[in-house]
Amino acid sequence: MKHIVIGTAGHVDHGKTVLVKALTGTDTDRLKEEKERGISIELGFASFTLPSGILAGIVDVPGHEKFIKNMLAGVGGMDMVLLIVAADEGIMPQTREHLDIIDLLQIPEGIVVITKVDLVDRDWIELVKEEVSELVKGTVLEHAPVAEVSAVTGQGIKELIELIDRMAAKIKERPVTGQARMPIDRVFSMTGFGTVVTGTMVEGRLKAGDTVQILPEGIAARVRGLQVHGRKVETARAGQRVAVNLAGVEWEEIRRGSVLSAPGQLKPSYRLDIKLKLLSRAEKPLVNRARVRVHVGTAEILARVVLLEAEELNPGDTALAQLECEKPVAAVRGDRLVVRSYSPMRTIGGGKVIDPFPPKRKRLDPRVIEALRVKEKGTPDELLQQFMASAKQVVFSKEDLLHGPGLPAETAENAVSSLVSQGLAMQFTSDGKPYYVLSSVFRQKAAELAGALDKFHASFPLRPGASKEEIRSKHFAGLNSKLFNALLELYRENGIISIVGENIAKYGFTPGPNPGQRQLFEDIEEKFLNSEYQTPGWEEIVLEFGLNRNDSEEVLNFLINSRVLVKLDDNILLHRKNLDRAKELVVGFLEKNGEMTLAEARDLLKTSRKYALPIMNYFDREKVTRRAEDKRILY
Q: What CATH number corresponds to the domain at position 206?
A: 2.40.30.10
pLDDT means over runs of 10, the chain (635 residues): 84 85 75 36 71 87 49 63 93 89 87 95 94 94 95 94 94 77 89 88 90 94 89 88 91 92 87 94 94 92 95 95 95 89 90 89 90 82 85 87 76 90 94 93 93 91 91 91 93 93 92 84 92 92 86 87 89 94 95 94 94 94 92 92
The CATH number assigned to the domain holding 606 equals: 1.10.10.10
- Both 30 and 70 in one domain: the answer is yes
- Both 527 and 573 in one domain: the answer is yes
Residue 536 placed within a domain: yes
Identify the pLDDT of residue 65: 45
Residue 384 placed within a domain: no
Of the candidates 112, 138, 170, which is a domain's last residue?
A: 170
Residue 583 placed within a domain: yes
Identify the pLDDT of residue 76: 55
Identify the pLDDT of residue 504: 95
Residue 379 placed within a domain: no
Residue 380 placed within a domain: no
- Both 273 and 256 in one domain: the answer is no
- Both 530 and 618 in one domain: the answer is yes
Q: Could you give the CA distance from residue 551 to residue 45 in angstroms, rounded to a whole number?
A: 85
Residue 117 placed within a domain: yes
For residue 309, give its domain range: 269-370
**Of the candidates 409, 413, 333, which has an alpha carbon nearest to the alpha carbon of residue 378?**
333
- Both 536 and 503 in one domain: the answer is no
- Both 11 and 143 in one domain: the answer is yes
Residue 571 placed within a domain: yes
Q: Could you give the CA distance from residue 165 to residue 610 in angstroms, rounded to a whole number?
A: 106
Q: Could you give the CA distance from residue 18 to residue 3 in angstroms, rounded to a whole number?
A: 23
Cα-Cα-Cα-Cα torsion 366, 369, 374, 375, nearest 10 degrees, comes to 150
Task: Give the side-chain half-sphere CA count within 13 A for 73.
Answer: 24
Here the contacts of 421-427 (C-beta below 8 Å, separation 24 or greater) are: 422/381, 424/381, 424/385, 425/385, 425/388, 426/490
Pairing outcome for strands 146-148 and 109-115: parallel
The CATH number assigned to the domain holding 10 equals: 3.40.50.300
Strand (E) or helix (H) holding 139: none
Identify the pLDDT of residue 239: 83
- Both 42 and 163 in one domain: the answer is yes
How open is the CA angle 251-257-261, to the nearest 5 degrees?
80
Identify the pLDDT of residue 11: 87
Beta bridge partners, 49, equal 55
- Both 33 and 165 in one domain: the answer is yes
The CATH number assigned to the domain holding 483 equals: 1.10.10.2770
Number of domains in the chain: 5
- Both 285 and 166 in one domain: the answer is no
Of the candidates 170, 199, 234, which is a domain's last residue?
A: 170
Strand (E) or helix (H) holding 170: helix 157-170
What residue type is 269 in one-letter code? S
What residue type is 101 in one-letter code? I
Task: Give the side-chain half-sphere CA count within 13 A for 6.
Answer: 29
- Both 195 and 231 in one domain: the answer is yes
Of the candidates 138, 170, 202, which is a domain's last residue?
A: 170
Residue 409 placed within a domain: no
- Both 24 and 150 in one domain: the answer is yes
CB-CB contact of 77 with 302 (8 Å): no
- Both 256 and 339 in one domain: the answer is no
User: Sign of the CA dihedral 459, 461, 467, 468?
Assistant: positive
Identify the pLDDT of residue 75: 56
Identify the pLDDT of residue 43: 56
CB-CB contact of 84 with 10 (8 Å): yes
Identify the pLDDT of residue 370: 86
